[in-house]
Chain A
């Protein structure tokens, strides 16, 4: 599994023009697990949302048990986990919604 750079913790290292920087948002119990609401990650351009989630699973293995109940979004729209990511994208992992 590829290890990506969390810009939040490391100075950004842009190895090539093929690197995409994406903004990542966490809500509800995911925010509590990860410990912050927002992150910025450098990953290979075109990497799928699934790979970004796996990236967080390395540092927070407990995320895996929520995977089946999560829906991903890209740029404020629900997105398939296979959606490729590009620089400037905003991704969120959304727990089951409970508004109302």
Chain B
């Protein structure tokens, strides 16, 4: 069920993510479950000690892609409300980089929708993280988003 009165909360933020506020946003009397995903900054990467991360985004496109994910979630799963917040800028170890909350009447839909949302976000939303170590920094290995097929010939008139 899509609630048109209180819409999903979808945001890119530079300040610490208020996880409780996102949970409160999605949680209503008709819900029997809220499932959350808390993506946090890990202190190691491939055997090296991470000092901190720096996230940047193609902000207008990233927000558009996050809105598309929300639409897909409502099409695929019988959930009530969705909140997705991704933080940008410098993040310290332990801080939340992305937080997702999904509410639904029954738990399976919320679990499935939350998993779909974070997996799709990681594979399609134009956000990049740079990992800072004691001896240097690297752009994290990422996922190549699916791109439209190439059309070498001109499109036939329809």
Contact = CB atoms under 8 A, between A and B. Distances in A.
A71 interface: yes
Interface in B100-158: 118, 121-130, 139-152
B7 interface: no
Given A73-B61, A100-B98, 14 more contacts: A71-B147, A73-B58, A76-B60, A80-B148, A82-B152, A94-B145, A96-B142, A97-B122, A97-B123, A97-B128, A97-B143, A99-B121, A99-B125, A100-B86
Interface in A2-18: none
B137 to A, nearest CB: 10
A28 interface: yes
Interface residues of B, number: 37
Contacts, number: 94
Contacts of B144: 69, 71, 96-97
Main secondary structure of the interface of A (DSSP, over half): mixed
Main secondary structure of the interface of B (DSSP, over half): mixed
Interface of B: 39, 55-58, 60-62, 64, 86, 97-98, 118, 121-130, 139-152
A95 B141 CA distance: 9
B97 to A, nearest CB: 7
10 contacts: A72-B147, A76-B64, A80-B148, A81-B150, A92-B58, A98-B139, A99-B125, A99-B129, A100-B39, A100-B122
A58 B129 CA distance: 28
A28 to B, nearest CB: 4
Contacts of A81: 150
Nearest to B60: A76
Interface residues of A, number: 23
Nearest to B86: A99
Contacts of B126: 27, 73, 92, 94, 97, 99
B60 A82 contact: no
A77 B126 CA distance: 10
Contacts of B98: 99-100
B143 A78 contact: no
A78 B147 contact: yes
A79 interface: yes
Nearest to A96: B142
Contacts of A25: 58
A60 interface: no
